Amino acid sequence: MDDFNLWVADTATEKNRDTKLDDVTEMKSRNTHHATRKKMASATSVGNKRRTRPLTLNQEVVDRVFDHAFDLGIASSREALNMQLNQMYQQAPRGLIRSQISWTTYGWACIVGCTACSSGCIFCYAKMLHDRRHEIYLKNNGCWKPDGKRMPVQYAKPFGEIQLLTERLGMPLRTRTPGRVFVNASSDVFHEEVPIDYIQKMFLVMGSCPHLRFQILTKRAKRLHELADRLPWFDNIEMGVTVDDHNAVKRAELLKQTPAKTKWVSAEPLLSPLREMNLSGLDWVVAGGETGAKEQKIRAAHPDWYRELRAACREANVAFFFKQTGDWVHESQLADTGLTGSTAGRPIHEWPDGTRSFRFGRVIRHDILDGQKLQEYPTNWASLN
């Protein structure tokens, strides 16, 4: 029985045990439960402190996580591991928040901040958003508006400073509904300033949540490769690298050398053809165009680049997910978007083949390629689709 089914079975056992109570006892239990929750809510609103019961995990899951941790010298005993996980669970302010990214379910931001290391970083949406909010934080003394609601403390520092938000480490442990989790969309887990022991803690949390599948992306494939043998890899950790142009293809080769069960590539923003990339050993490719603010010189992607990736994925039996075109729409894609005849006054990009792309920006960033919506996932994710 795999980890996910163990978690489901454990949950079902708890439910079956509860249903054996007679009606009177059950009603008393419910009344007591509601009264207790009301008191806890009152105490929380007054003292702003979270009081919660200890974390309980399926014993087989705990044993598996401990075996990995012990082999790597991360945990000396099951008691120490349980204590560490419980501490993170108690400190977490809440469960994970739903994500608006089309290929994931939740976002987990326990690290904030990054520095540019690739051509795809030039118009980083996370940096743009953080810098804007950092200015507001400084201007309004930590509030969204003067004398208004307080902003999250991470905006006190500029995006270039790496912040380890330890109180968020336990958020997956508070999340009961299964789903996919994009890890640190506003940072890079394998940034040089993120300590190895912090990454190890993240991996232990991920291994303790078999009902969730964690999607990690890095542009720092070299450090990933260097640290891979010091990390506890679990089947629900999906490791990926960003390959934004032909110069970054080597990242995929370093990824293939890691113990990750599922390996994937994010070709977003796609800035050049990726004909040199060997898809053998990969499970998933996500592709998309560059997006950004109106004043930024956002780069266009030719639809043939996506078509080549799609064809290569078909040949290699790799799942292909077309996320969106980006700010630019090629003339061959206008019919798919219903924008035929709406190009007047739009910025134009001339391609060497004589075709053109038009910049529509936020007006339309569509996910249709040649009349098809291609949103495939690896077959081992079927239980979560």
pLDDT in tens, 366-377: 788 998 999 999
The answer to whether residue 304 is domain-embedded is: yes
Confidence of residue 344 (pLDDT cuts 50, 70, 90): confident
Percentage of residues in the chain with pLDDT exceeding 90?
75
Flag whether pLDDT at 66 surpasses 90: yes
pLDDT band at 264, cuts 50/70/90? very high
Query: Which pLDDT belongs to residue 381?
Result: 60
β-sheet bridge partners, residue 330: 357
The reported pLDDT for the residue numbered 262 is: 97
Q: Is 354 within the bounds of a domain?
A: yes
On whether residue 347 sits in a domain, the answer given is: yes
d(C-alpha 137, C-alpha 156), whole Å: 6
Residue indicated by tokens 């938000």: 165
- At residue 363, the pLDDT reads 66
Of residues 8 and 280, more confidently modeled: 280
Cis peptide before 269 (omega within 30 of 0): yes
Our count of domains for the chain comes to 1
Residue 187 has pLDDT above 60, yes or no: yes
Q: Which domain holds residue 327?
A: 97-384
Q: Quickly state the pLDDT bin for 342 (edges 50, 70, 90).
A: confident
Do 255 and 239 touch, CB atoms closer than 8 A? yes
DSSP H helical segments within 189-284, as ranges? Answer: 196-207, 221-227, 250-256
First to last CA, the chain: 20
Residue 267 falls within a domain, yes or no?
Answer: yes
pLDDT (average), residues 257-277: 98
Pairing of strands 179-183, 368-369: unpaired
pTM: 0.84
pLDDT at 3: 43
The answer as to whether 220 is a domain residue is: yes
Q: Is residue 160 included in any domain, yes or no?
A: yes
Whether 49 shows a pLDDT value over 60: the answer reads no
Question: CA–CA separation, 129 vs 4, rounded Å?
Answer: 36
* Nearest alpha carbon to residue 124 among 135, 138, 114, 139: 114
pLDDT at 202: 99
